[in-house]
Amino acid sequence: MVDTMAERKRQLVAAEITEAALQLCAVKGFDTTTVDEIVVAAGVSRRTFFRYFSSKEDVAIQLMASLGADMRDELRARPADEPPATALRHAVRRAIDHCVDEPLKSLRVVQLILRTPVLHARMLERQAQWRELLTAELAARLGRDPATDLFPEMAAGMALAAFEAAMRRWSVSDGVTDPHDLTDRAFAVISPALDQAG
């Protein structure tokens, strides 16, 4: 019970810091927003801020931190005989579900990441890690050696390209377009190649 309450408090503090940072960045821009301004707006100390985040970049990126593991777990849970394109589409949709759960916050974060070069670079680093997770899982699923077979890595890369395309279009539409529909449309483009090679 104590652990649950402590974790709930931790989540609340992190959420308050995140919300303060997003509001400031929306008004001032990411580059000109400082950690000092974020802590004042959130009503916390610098020490508290750095207990939760190592930098202001982490405030935005952390909202997407678990997506790679979530996609891998969904891919692992898919039926063994499911075609690669279908399994990967479901894995990516799992990540999209996180955006749909908190659409306003997620949209602000995606827009901030896409228009801020340093955040976009950090996001690409994350996606490289996700690609490794999906590559390993897909290789195990198909009984292929990712060290000699290009398919698992290429397929994971294509799935993540579909994810990024859907997120970009969702961002540009200002949240009007359904991200699940965008994901399905993106996979309609890549599915023939995935299933033919798979």
Same domain, 77 and 111: yes
- 124-143 tens-digit pLDDT: 998 999 999 999 999 999 99
Choose one of 22, 37, 53: the last residue of a domain: 53
Give 35: exposed, middle or buried? Use CB within 10 Å, 0-12, 13-18, 19+: middle
Same domain, 44 and 75: no
Radius of gyration in angstroms for the set of CA atoms belonging to the chain, rounded to a whole number: 18
Contacts of 6 (CB under 8 A, 6+ apart): none
Same domain, 131 and 43: no
Choose one of 53, 70, 86: the last residue of a domain: 53
Query: What pLDDT was estimated at residue 27?
Result: 86
Tokens of 47: 């020490």
CATH number at residue 173: 1.10.357.10
Query: What pLDDT was estimated at residue 198?
Result: 62
Residue 127 C-beta-side C-alpha neighbours within 13 Å: 17
**Distances in whole angstroms, Cα of residue 64 to Cα of each of 46, 81, 123, 190:** 23, 29, 9, 24
Same domain, 45 and 111: no
Query: What pLDDT was estimated at residue 15?
Result: 86
What is the count of structural domains for the chain? 2
**Distances in whole angstroms, Cα of residue 193 to Cα of each of 90, 131, 190:** 17, 18, 6
Question: Which residues of the chain fall below pLDDT 50?
Answer: 1-2
Q: What is the pTM of this model?
A: 0.85
Contacts of 158 (CB under 8 A, 6+ apart): 88, 190, 193, 194
Same domain, 145 and 172: yes
- Residue range of the domain that includes 30: 2-53
Query: What pLDDT was estimated at residue 196?
Result: 81
Q: How far, in whole angstroms, is CA 32 from its chain's centroid?
A: 24
Query: What pLDDT was estimated at residue 47?
Result: 94
Q: What angle do CA 73, 74, 77 make, to 5 degrees?
A: 90
CATH number at residue 48: 1.10.10.60
Nearest to 183 by CA among 158, 165, 157, 156: 165
